[in-house]
Amino acid sequence: MAFDEYDKYEQSELVQKWLRENGLSIVVGIAIGLVGIFGWQQWRNHQARNESNAAQLYKLAQVSLAANKPEAASVITDQLMKDYEKSPYAVFAATDRAKQQVQAKQLDKAEASLDWAATHATDPALKSLTQLRKAQVELARDNGTAALATLDAIPANTYQGLAQELRGDVLVKLGRADDARKAYQAALSALKEQAPQRGALQMKLDDLAVAGKQGA
């Protein structure tokens, strides 16, 4: 028998022996793998259905608000927050509720709604936007210290123009004019040249300069 033929024969025997010893584990492994794949697909399908249901509910809540039916919208929002708390649509609904509460001058309730939204928002950008709105409500409630703490929790690479401007507003209210000026300047630096809010920011800086001269 030639060496190459012998090698083929030997390899065949080794493969068969290995299969006899490990065949069951291979079958089990394949079965587990198939179950895993099937389970993953089932989970993804379940997630997709959940998101679709949440999207439909959120749309209904918006329609209810547009039709001046806040009670119906509130019931739907409660359902989203209870049954779909991991969905961004629940966060959107809670934020919409906070807007309605602000308009009704229920600032304490608005802050609670935004706190829930910020806690449940998983997308970093959405979380930062919710925290920004929460800081606005905290400022409106004359709680500047809490507003600064909320702003500090926003990552430095998100909404910096808006966040720094709001920080300046908070610092002005706290009587910290120098720090407010730095915040407004940081906001200007973060905004593009064509940003529409640059004019309002510059006016705030000018007001601080005038107030500083009057206080000198």
The pLDDT assigned to 135 comes to 95
Q: Write down the residue that tokens 């989970």 correspond to.
A: 43
Residue 10 CB partners (closer than 8 Å, separation 6+): none
User: From residue 118, how far is each of 47, 49, 86, 92, 133 by CA, in Å?
Assistant: 21, 24, 12, 10, 10
The tens place of each residue's pLDDT in the chain, 216 residues long, gives: 443 443 444 455 555 555 555 555 555 555 556 555 555 465 455 455 677 888 899 999 999 989 999 999 999 999 999 999 988 899 999 999 999 999 999 999 999 999 999 999 999 999 999 999 999 999 999 999 999 999 999 998 889 999 999 999 999 999 999 999 999 999 999 888 888 888 888 899 888 887 655 555
The pLDDT assigned to 3 comes to 38
The pLDDT assigned to 9 comes to 46
Rounded distance between C-alpha atoms, residue 39 and residue 46, angstroms: 10
Rounded distance between C-alpha atoms, residue 73 and residue 62, angstroms: 7
Helix (H) or strand (E) holding 90: helix 88-103
The pLDDT assigned to 7 comes to 46
